[in-house]
Amino acid sequence: MAGKIKEIQAADFEKEVLGKERAVIDFYSTECPPCEALAAKYENLSMIYGDDINFVKIFRQGNKDLAAELDVSGSPTVLFYENGKRVGKTLTGGILRSDLMEGLDALLPAEKAEELHAKIEQVVTNADTVVLGGGPAGLTAGIYLAQAHLNTIVVDTALPGGYVATTHQVSNYPGFVEPQPGMMLSHYMGEQAKANGVKFRSAVDVSKVDLLNKNLVVDGYETIEAKKIVIATGSRPRPLDIPGEKEYAGQGISYCATCDGKYFEDKEIIVIGGGNSSIEESLFLSKFAKKITIVHQFDTLQANKEAQNKIFADDKVDIMFEHEPREFKKYGNMDMAVVVENLKTGELSELRTNGVFVFVGFIPNLEVFNDEMELDQWGYLKTSETMETNIPGVFAAGDVRTKQYRQITTAVADGTIAAITISKELT
């Protein structure tokens, strides 16, 4: 095994982990994208920390009893041990190099950790194109660029797949007769990109991006220099930041009517928000639900007049003006509740429902960029028809750019256009 890493079995656990002064263990699986993303980081850090900490890997499916004993139920899972005792945080899923280093540093005296940090060498990697974001737009761009024999690296702070990976099912993506789990559709796209030669830097920290000079710093030590950059970082639903939202997102709380509305046929739902997206999505949801309750903080709707007229005329829809959600609860499958506050009286009440849809806007993922980029009034990137931004050689694709509709198919189209444009310029 590469690096200063030992592959062990359950029988070796006591000797190689519990019997060492300091140890770290990676429970991995095969055909596991997060495990693949972690492997290079784990190997690299073993070369730095390996003389002071024992690095081991163990195949989770082949050592199920030990995994169960240690309460390891997912791959990858990284555990830290000091003098035979489990310490620190348990890391799982898309593990960042910085989180892994934090766990390793905690096993060492501070002076030793600083000494090892000083040994980390800076590296420079060259590419034809760097794609920032591994959702449908970014992966599509990567596939087209790689097929044009361009050296392409997809960089993502999470795992490949983007927001669609959190969607329960996707039933309107061409080519699939049966609805596809969003996670699997994302997986197929990622595997296709890999098969075409796209390189990945997944679950990484991007500390600096210089769009003018076409370079970025990944995980604090690797500078990637490119000829072209595609920004496909997407957008994320604006959160309400109330109890229960994170816990039940995708498990009773949805942010996409087109994706999930069909699962609420003849059900009751609650919609949060009173702007254009909320009212227009409520009109769409009315095709399925038997009752919709809109919870809105103001005494009037902020949607356009046409949408307002339609929603007021819909017998399925009730509107609770001057109310705000304060907490989400879940009692069972399709059994949710929203605690709302009457903003006039301060009174709290609980509304029982089958599901909740939140439409209070989206936020483009542009925090890492400091360059002067032309944005629309909502903060999305403006582009030309070829997806180029106001910065030459920098393109944008998918939900991060100005557009009327944000769907998987429109993101894929954007990625295609950007990649073809770049291919013609570089080949």
**Which among 94-98, 246-250, 404-408 has the top mean pLDDT?**
94-98
Pair 262, 288: CB distance under 8 Å: yes
Tell me, what's the pLDDT at 6?
95
CATH assignment, 5-118: 3.40.30.10
pLDDT at 397 over 80: yes
Is omega for the bond preceding 76 within 30 degrees of 0, making it cis?
Answer: yes
Tell me, what's the pLDDT at 168?
64
1 band by pLDDT with thresholds 50, 70 and 90: low
Look up tokens 């996670």; give the residue. Answer: 183
- Same fold flag, 123-236+362-426 and 245-358: yes
Do you know the residue count of the chain?
A: 427
Tell me, what's the pLDDT at 24?
98
Pair 236, 190: CB distance under 8 Å: no
Alpha carbon 261 to its chain's center: 22
Task: Return the CATH architecture of domain 245-358.
Answer: 3-Layer(bba) Sandwich (3.50)
Pair 296, 323: CB distance under 8 Å: yes
Average pLDDT over residues 377-405: 95
| Amino acid at the residue 399 | D
Please state, in angstroms and rounded to a whole number, the distance separating the CA atoms of residues 209 and 212: 9
Q: In this predicted model, what pLDDT tens digit does every residue of 307-317 receive, in sequence order?
A: 899 999 999 99
Average pLDDT over residues 63-80: 93
Q: In this predicted model, what pLDDT tens digit does every residue of 211-248 receive, in sequence order?
A: 999 999 999 999 999 999 999 999 988 889 999 999 99
Distant-in-sequence, close-in-space partners of 93: CB < 8 Å, separation ≥ 6: 34, 74, 76, 159
| Amino acid at the residue 141 | A
Q: Identify which of 413, 388, 411, 381 has the alpha carbon closest to the alpha carbon of residue 129.
A: 388
Mean pLDDT of the chain: 94
Average pLDDT over residues 105-113: 97
Pair 32, 57: CB distance under 8 Å: no
Domain boundaries, the chain: 5-118, 123-236+362-426, 245-358
pLDDT at 44 over 90: yes
267 band by pLDDT with thresholds 50, 70 and 90: very high
From residue 201, alpha-carbon distances to 71, 156, 240, 296, 371 in Å are 29, 6, 31, 41, 22
3-state secondary structure the chain: CCCCEEECCHHHHHHHHHCCCEEEEEEECCCCHHHHHHHHHHHHHHHHHCCCCEEEEEECHHHHHHHHHCCCCCCCEEEEEECCEEEEEEEECCCCHHHHHHHHHHCCCHHHHHHHHHCCCCEEEEEEEEEECCCHHHHHHHHHHHHCCCCEEEEECCCCCHHHHHCCCECCCCCCCCCECHHHHHHHHHHHHHHCCCEEEECCCEEEEECCCCEEEECCCEEEEEEEEEECCCEEECCCCCCCHHHHECCCEECCHHHHHHHHCCCEEEEECCCHHHHHHHHHHCCCCCEEEEECCCCCCCCCHHHHHHHHCCCCEEEECCEEEEEEEEEECCEEEEEEEECCCCCEEEEEECEEEECCCEEECCCCCCCCCCECCCCCECCCCCCECCCCCEEECHHHECCCCCCHHHHHHHHHHHHHHHHHHHC
Tell me, what's the pLDDT at 3?
73
Average pLDDT over residues 408-419: 97
pLDDT at 414 over 80: yes
Average pLDDT over residues 333-362: 95
Q: Does domain 123-236+362-426 have CATH number 3.50.50.60?
A: yes
Look up tokens 């254009």; give the residue. Answer: 276
State the pairing for strand pair 199-202/152-156: parallel
Among 11-25, 157-171, 405-419, where is mean pLDDT lowest? Answer: 157-171
Among 84-88, 124-128, 204-208, where is mean pLDDT lowest? Answer: 204-208
pLDDT at 254 over 80: yes
Q: In this predicted model, what pLDDT tens digit does every residue of 287-299 receive, in sequence order?
A: 999 999 999 999 9
337 band by pLDDT with thresholds 50, 70 and 90: very high
Average pLDDT over residues 65-82: 94
Among 2-11, 166-175, 192-201, 323-332, where is mean pLDDT lowest? Answer: 166-175
Tell me, what's the pLDDT at 165?
82
| Amino acid at the residue 219 | D
Average pLDDT over residues 166-185: 84
- Residue 74 token pair: 């997912």
